[in-house]
Copies of this chain bind each other. A is one copy, B any other.
Amino acid sequence: MMDNQDDGVPNRSDSVQLSRRAKDKLNGTRARNQGARKSEITRARILDAAAEVFMEKGYALARIGDIAKKAGTQPSSIYYYFDSREAVVEEVLSIANNRTDRSVRRAIEALHKTADLRARITAAIHGQVDSVLSGDPYTAAHMRIFDQIPPKMREHFLRILDENAELWRALLFEAQQNGLLRPEIDISVARLLLFGMMNWSIEWYKPGRMTPDDVAEQVALLFLDGTFVRDR
């Protein structure tokens, strides 16, 4: 269903975690063997299945057997590719982070050079909301399970999330410098509230009545101008 050929993971041979066993084999005999990627496909299938199961069941209720079943394999086979259940989660989240970050950047870059801040912020919102609501199991799983994962992993990804947030900080800071924001607004709080609107949307959004872009439009409208009509 959902493929994951290119997820922005920078350097596959670094980022991919093979089990101890597979690693030993690979290093031991012939390191530069290209045929070894035959069943990277299975690996990807397991990750895809994991993302879907996490999206559907959350972290705690996602049995490793569920993942295996959806991937069409056995629980024990998963351990050929991953050291542990946690390692699977970790990679799913990592891929999700990359996808979301890329979605936001792409949306901004698709704009004309001349686009003003209002347009850039709006584009960024569309990028983020699309990523959350597109139906991609990775990004959906990310939103669903993020606060269910073990503390250590959570901290790790909080750091990554914070790095990605730099883009948003810069946007809002620039808007403030240019006098575009109402003076009562605290931009660091506003940014977090904006994330609340966007990320929480997965809790209630159901495809049908509205597209993700429709939702994004409402978010942008609300964030920039609020709901109340202007005086006079």
Interface, chain A (partner B; CB < 8 A): 58-61, 118, 144, 147-148, 150, 175, 179-182, 184-186, 189-190, 192-201, 203-204, 210, 215, 218-219, 221-230
Nearest first, the 3 closest Cβ-Cβ pairs linking A and B are: A196-B200, A60-B60, A226-B226
> Does A218 contact B189, Cβ atoms closer than 8 Å?
yes
> Does A185 contact B148, Cβ atoms closer than 8 Å?
no
> Does B226 contact A225, Cβ atoms closer than 8 Å?
yes
* Candidate in A59, A147, A201, A210 with the most chain B CB atoms within 10 angstroms: A147
The verdict on A189 contacting B203 (CB below 8 Å), with A224-B228, A227-B224 known, is: no
* Main SS at interface, chain A: helix
Query: In whole angstroms, how far apart are the Cα atoms of A199 and B196 in the complex?
Result: 8
Query: In whole angstroms, how far apart are the Cα atoms of A210 and B195 in the complex?
Result: 18
Contacts of A118 in B (CB 8 A): 228
Contacts of A194 in B (CB 8 A): 197
A199: shortest Cβ distance to chain B, in Å? 6
Partner of A200, one of B190, B200, B204: B200
Query: In whole angstroms, how far apart are the Cα atoms of A228 and B119 in the complex?
Result: 12
**Pairs across A and B, CB under 8 Å, 11 listed:** A182-B229, A184-B221, A190-B218, A193-B201, A193-B222, A196-B203, A223-B226, A224-B227, A224-B228, A225-B228, A230-B230
> Does B58 contact A228, Cβ atoms closer than 8 Å?
no
Query: In whole angstroms, how far apart are the Cα atoms of A228 and B172 in the complex?
Result: 10
A219: shortest Cβ distance to chain B, in Å? 6
Known: A186-B218, A196-B199, A196-B203; 20 extra A-B contacts, CB below 8 A, are: A58-B147, A59-B60, A60-B60, A60-B148, A182-B228, A185-B221, A190-B222, A190-B227, A192-B200, A193-B201, A195-B200, A196-B198, A196-B201, A197-B197, A199-B200, A200-B200, A222-B223, A224-B226, A225-B226, A225-B228
